[in-house]
Each structure stands twice: as C-alpha cells, then as structure tokens.
Homo-oligomer: A and B are copies of this chain.
Amino acid sequence: MNHPRTLRVGSDQTISVVCVVGSELNVNLNRSAPPSSRFFSVKCTFNVQYSISPSPLHSTHLSPIPLNGNSVLLIRMNRASDHENDSKLSVRYYGENREVLGRAVLHLTAVEISLDVDADRDGVVENNNPNKGSWQWGPNGHGAILLVNCDSEFMHKKRPDREQEEVTKVSDLKDMSVMVLRTRGPAKLPEGYKLTLHISQGDAESVRVFRPRTSETDNKRPKNLFYKYFVKDYPLVLSSEVLSQEVPYLGEAAEMNLYVEGLRFPDKDFNGLIHINLSLLEPISRGLPETPIFTDTVVFKVAPWIMTPNTLRPVEVFVCSTSDNYRFLKSMKNLVAQSGYKLKICHEYLNRGDRWMQDELEFGYIDSPHHRFPVVLDSPRDGDLQDFPYDELLGPDFGYVTRLAHRQDVSSLDSFGNLEVSPPVTVNGKHYPLGRIIIGVAFPTATRGRNMTEVVQDFLWAQKVQEPIALFSDWLYVGHVDEFMTFVPAPDRKGFRLLLASPDAGYKLFRGLRHDGHGQAKLFEGLTHEKPVTVDEILNDEGLLAENNYVQSCIDWNRDVLKRELGLDDEDIIDLPILFKLVVEDEKRTIEYRAVAYYPDMVNMIVLGKNLGIPKPFGPKVNGRCVLEAEMCFLMQGLGLNCTFIDDFASYHKLLGEVHCGSNVRRESFDFRWWNLEM
C-alpha cells in the first residue's frame, strides 16, 4: 500500500490528474481555498471515491461542509480508466453566506500499475503479491530469488554470461528471473507522463535488467548494425551504467516480461538483497525533473553458492590421467563403473602433470524456484590445473565463480582439499539442513601460521546457508582438513559418521598385534623403493610416539570443535588407525614441524554412495591379510559400506596426497531448498 500523495488543487482551476488504482490522493482543502471560504462541497463521477477528514458531523454531503484548518479530501479510484480524463471530481468553496467563492475541477485518469515477481517462490510470477517488497527466510517466508548468471550459453569463445552486457541467446533468459510489468488504463499515458525503472547505484553493481523489444520502442531506437547484432531483441534497461530508464507503457491491459540477471554472489560487502523500483513520473515543467507520483518496489535475493556433502548421490567423478598413475586410474575406473556413476578423466595435455583434482576446484550449485544448475568454485591455488574449471566445466547450465587473491596471500591452505561440508545436522535445536562448511586455518592462539585467504573465507561466510566452521589444519605439512577427517553415510543415528584419523587408534592396533605375537609383521611389504618396517620397530620408536601424541592432540582439539559445532556425540565419530610423522619445514627461516601421514592416509577416501575408495595402507599382515584393511572393513561394514582399497602409494601418497586429493565428485543437489531455512 502506497501512502497518500499530496495533491494541490487551486480554486478556480481545472487540472488533469493521474491516479494510480490502489493509491490515494490527499488534498488539503484549506491550503488552496479562496480567502474567506467557510464551507465546501464535493461532487464526482461514479468511478471516483472520496472521503473527508475530519469526518463531517452530518452524514450527508449534499449541504456544504464547514471548512476548517485541517480539512482533507482523500480521493481514490477503483478501476483503470478507458480513456484519458474520463472521470471527474469538483470542489466548490463557499463564503459565510453560502455564496460560491471558487470551484476547482479535477479531470481524472486512473491507471493500474504493478511490478511483479515470484515472491511466493512457486516458479510463477503472481499478481501484485503484497509481500513482494520484502524478503523473509523460511517455509512461511516470501521474497523473490535471483541467480548469478555465471554459466555460459556458449562453449566456444565462452565467457560467463554475467560478463556479457547483452542477452546472447534466448536460452540465456531461463537463467534470469522474470519480473512482470503489468499496466491497465487508456491506450496512452497523458502527455508528459512516463514509466521508469530505477535502482540504486549499490544494487546496480549486482544486477542487470533486460526487456523484450516492443514495436513502439523499435521505432525510437537507433538501428545501426552493431545495435541490431548484439542487443537484438532484449534491450538492456538497468545496469551499473544506467540506473534509471523509461519503460514503455503498452496501453489498455498489458503485460511485459522483464528479465533480471544476478551479477555477483553474496559477499562480505553484499548481503544479496536487491531492490528494483518502478515509478510513474509526472511532468512538472520544462527543464525540471519529473516527480514520481507512484512507486512500486520489488526485492530479490541472490541465491547463495551451496556445497554438496558426501551423503548426496554422486553424478560424476573427476580424476587426472598422468604419466605415472595408470594403476590408480584403472582402480578408480573400476570403482566408479561398479558404483554406476560417470567418470571424467582430465588428460595430461590439460592437467600438465597436476594430479590434485580435489584442490583446484569445489563443486556446488545454485538454486531458485525457476532454475537450478551446478557451479564450480575455482580455487586461487592455481596450479597447473588452473584452466580446467573454466575451460572444461563452464558451459550451458554449468556456472563458474572464483575469488582473486594476491599470489603472496595464497598458501597450501587455499587448496580445496581444505574445504569440505558436513551432512545436515541439528546443533542445540538449530537446524542446518544443508550442513556446514568446514575449512582449515591456523591455530587460534598462534601468532603466525598459514591460513585460507581472506577473499575465499569472506565468500564462504557470506553464503550464510552453510555457516562455516574453522578447524585447525596448519599442523599438517600440506594443511588440508581432508587429511584427518571425512564423512560417510550411515543408516542410523544422524545419517552419517564422522571419520577421524587417530594415531591412538593406530597405536592401540599395533600394541594389540605385538601382544598377540605379531610384532615382526611388516608394513610396506612388497613395495619397491620403500623399506619395510616392523610393528615392533614402530612401537619402539619413542620419537614417533611423541610426534603422534602431538598429532592426536591436534586432532582431538578439532574433534572437540566438530562435536560442539555439529552437535555430535562420541557415538557419531569413528577413529581410524592412522599414524603420522613430523617433517621439518624451514618456512621463512623459521623451523617448524608439521605432520604427514606415515602410511597411506585411509581417511582421505572417495565416498560414492555405499562404496568407499580408500588408499591402500600397506599395513602389517596377519594370516595374509592387512590388519589395517581388516580393521577399516570391520569399522565400515557396520554401516553397510563397502571398502575398495586403491593403491595410490607411488603416484599420490609419496607426493603427500591420497585418493581424495586426487579426485573430485560432482553430486546431486539437496532436496531441501535454501530459502526454506529459518534464519
């Protein structure tokens, strides 16, 4: 509901007035009454409603009404005019003796105007939703949704569509939100009136609005070749260069679809909300700006980028082919084929030897009631795989987003093995139906240390719907959270288990072996270039024990954070027997000790539904069976999960990564829609 608009009506004047259906005109009668006026009366045609405030004592308006200092006439019109000035209202002013002192006449034209969006989020633009001007979270919330147009309609010579100032293909329109301009009234607006779409400078940096070409505007616009070729049938209405532009009034009962394109994701300085205004402008006089006499405002929120946890169904698995990973690739092919998913291999001419498919990118998606598509977040890591997300993934209905960081700000913690997401959780009554993002950073009390770069952290926090948790991962040489944790689906409890690497569990297993007489069983048997080590040797190495005590305390610190932030009990966590060792790092001339896995780090696995692809640990054997594999299978089979052990020793483990680091999985979206979150 717009508030009443002050209308000035002089006495002995006949003026033409445009009134928007649903809004009110407020005439201060005293202000323009002739001198000595004491009474007034009002008459009007049937399409006009009026009321007087303060209400006259006598209910009939037939006899003149006393005029006082605050007499206000409120005028409304209930339906659109067929013709200009087809309605009328007149006011007579009278003196002390009821003599007529003056008469003001209004010729009224009513128009209906509405800027409409899909505020109820059902995929269809409804008519004048009363909540269209505000945005509220939740299943009972409201407010329209906008996608960042970050895919590319073209595969050849492509750029994300949001970087193009024009609609390059009609298919691009489905990535935009429809906004309908509805008008009803005479065939033309009265002379000098016009409709304008406008937006604030701040909002215009995040959005563009297009409209279809109409025959009317065709005639007005330049017809040079450049214009015809690029802008074609969808002229740009609003952008960061054009904050305000007239839109055609089509006359009688008309609807025009406008197309709204999101340009940027929520970020530290942008909460995602965008207001777009439609105003009816009234001319005042030549050389002066027109006055808006009616403004309708709609609001959009830009959809956040959403990550997909291990519990969602895989769609495609990505791995690199390198000169030395033939065996690994073959095992992965088998696992993926047997699980029934698609495998995409990034060949060497593309990956240039960079095998860390997990680290260069993170798959996610964006969602709206009208459309949804996957979006890859490209890491500022920028290894030799850096062109892969843009060159190979960006395309029709496959979006791309990145954050630019200064080279010197980027560390190993910016690789996306250090960016994971939990399954849905409830923490002290607070629901996270899309889970929570998990990243690794420097230790909170450390005065130095590596960190995930600010621009990426800001981006992740600003998405809001998967509120991030910062873990301590800087104790690891590579520094990624996927080196000590993962999530697997489970049929019971919260629907998943958190798996944690645990030196304590490793030592317990090895002590049990020694206790049972297997102290001479060997790790790393059968590996070339790797000297086998016995269980006894490991248990007798006091330095290694101290190192693993430290590692366990680091993991325990993270374990406590995860329990608190994900609302987990000990029963939701499974400790995997994994040992680490510390290596010396002479970074910036400060000697630091950081951890790497002692044998293949089983927690660094790929999760494909019920099938797990786990780094083959090459542990000690009892009765011909690797006890680490046996323990892993035992722990997982209770959850109905199948373990496949993949030999990544030479081609990944020795390069300080494992199966998870060397792969990536695009998964299905959540069934839960993000706007139904209660915030």
Contacts and interface: CB of A to CB of B under 8 A. Distances in A.
A560 B293 CA distance: 10
Interface in A250-291: 268-269, 277, 279, 281, 284-285, 287-291
A284 B557 CA distance: 12
Chain copies in the assembled complex? 2
Interface in A45-71: 53, 70
Interface stretch (A411-419, A438-446, A619-627): A438-446
A33 B504 CA distance: 10
A505 B444 contact: no
A277 B511 CA distance: 40
Given A445-B290, A560-B4, A284 B553 contact: yes
A3 B564 contact: yes
A32 interface: yes
B198 A445 contact: yes
Interface in A499-527: 502, 504-505, 508, 511-512, 515-516
A31 B511 contact: no
A546 B554 CA distance: 78
A556 B31 contact: no
A571 B511 contact: no
Nearest to A442: B289
Contacts of A453: none
Given A3-B564, A575-B31, A289 B553 contact: no
Nearest to A556: B6
Contact of A288 (B5, B552, B593): B593
A232 B72 CA distance: 70
B575 A243 contact: no
Interface in A1-59: 3-6, 8, 26, 28, 31-36, 53
Contact of A504 (B32, B268, B508): B32
A432 interface: no
Interface in A434-486: 443-447
A642 B420 CA distance: 70
A5 B560 contact: yes
A33 B281 CA distance: 81
Contact of A289 (B8, B198, B445): B445
A3 B560 contact: yes
A587 interface: no
B8 A516 contact: no
A563 interface: yes
Interface in A529-565: 546, 549-550, 552-554, 556-557, 559-560, 563-564
Given A35-B515, A445-B289, A557-B291, A26 B570 contact: yes
B504 A447 contact: no
A570 B445 contact: no
Nearest to A202: B454
Interface string A236-253: 000000011000000000
Nearest to A547: B285
Contacts of A560: 3-6, 26
A283 B447 CA distance: 16
A211 B172 CA distance: 61
Contacts of A198: 444-445
A292 interface: yes
Given A35-B512, A447-B243, A560-B5, A28 B550 contact: no
Contacts of A34: 511, 515
A90 interface: no
A196 interface: yes
Contacts of A575: 28, 31
A292 B31 contact: no
Contacts of A35: 508, 511-512, 515-516
Given A36-B515, A570-B26, A570-B28, A8 B556 contact: yes
Nearest to A515: B35
Nearest to A32: B504
A161 to B, nearest CB: 27
Closest 9 CB pairs of A and B: A35-B512, A35-B515, A6-B556, A3-B564, A31-B504, A289-B446, A72-B570, A70-B571, A289-B443
Given A285-B550, A287-B593, 18 more contacts: A3-B560, A3-B563, A3-B564, A5-B560, A6-B557, A8-B504, A26-B560, A28-B570, A28-B575, A31-B502, A33-B508, A35-B508, A70-B570, A243-B447, A268-B269, A269-B269, A284-B553, A288-B593
17 contacts: A4-B560, A6-B557, A6-B559, A8-B552, A8-B553, A31-B575, A32-B504, A33-B508, A36-B515, A70-B570, A72-B570, A243-B447, A244-B447, A269-B269, A279-B444, A279-B445, A291-B553
Interface of A: 3-6, 8, 26, 28, 31-36, 53, 70, 72, 196, 198, 243-244, 268-269, 277, 279, 281, 284-285, 287-292, 443-447, 502, 504-505, 508, 511-512, 515-516, 546, 549-550, 552-554, 556-557, 559-560, 563-564, 570-571, 575, 591, 593
